[in-house]
Amino acid sequence: MLKGHLYPNTLQLTDKIQWCHIKAYLINVAMTYSLYSNTLHSLYRFVRIVYYTRCSLYQNIYLYIFGIIIQLILSLIQPIPLLFTGIYGYEDYHCQILLTEWIGVMIATVLIWIPPLSITITIYIYT
């Protein structure tokens, strides 16, 4: 007997929860990517100000391509632990970390917000 015959809503609910986790992961990837984009921009400004005499350093296109690849890899890897901790709450159409779950909020803050912002702030302080 099929599982859907006994409990008709369970298959739909598990599909919605899985789709919810995928959507939440992609949203976190986009947010992390935009944060690292700001970091890459601040790194460009840093190189232009501090190493202004070395034109080969800040005019090297391969350096920026490498930076974009690193940015993409980091933004894809960093939100992965959020999927395995089970901190996303599914409510109707919204899939997000519940604000009442402090452990989830702290994990998301440490994994997504702090690394790119600390690098950006450090670069601007040094400049």
Instruction: Give one DSSP letter per residue of 51-116, joined into a string.
Output: TTT-HHHHT-HHHHHHHHHHHHHHHHHTTHHHHHHT-EEEETTEEEE-TT-HHHHHHHIIIIIHHH
Report the pLDDT value the prediction gives residue 7, as an integer from 0 to 100.
Answer: 53
- The pLDDT tens digits along the chain (127 residues) read 444 455 555 545 566 677 777 888 888 899 999 999 999 999 888 888 888 787 777 778 888 899 899 999 999 998 888 777 777 666 656 677 777 777 878 888 888 889 999 999 999 998 7
Which domains are delineated in the chain?
Answer: 12-126 (1.20.1070.10)
Report the pLDDT value the prediction gives residue 18, as an integer from 0 to 100.
Answer: 77
Q: Classify residue 36 by burial, with Cβ atoms within 10 Å: 0-12, 13-18, 19+.
A: buried
Report the pLDDT value the prediction gives residue 6, as an integer from 0 to 100.
Answer: 52
Report the pLDDT value the prediction gives residue 60, as an integer from 0 to 100.
Answer: 80
What's the number of CA atoms in the CB half-sphere (13 Å) around residue 40? 18
On whether the CB atoms of residues 108 and 35 are closer than 8 A, the answer is no
CA gap 107, 77 in Å, rounded:
14
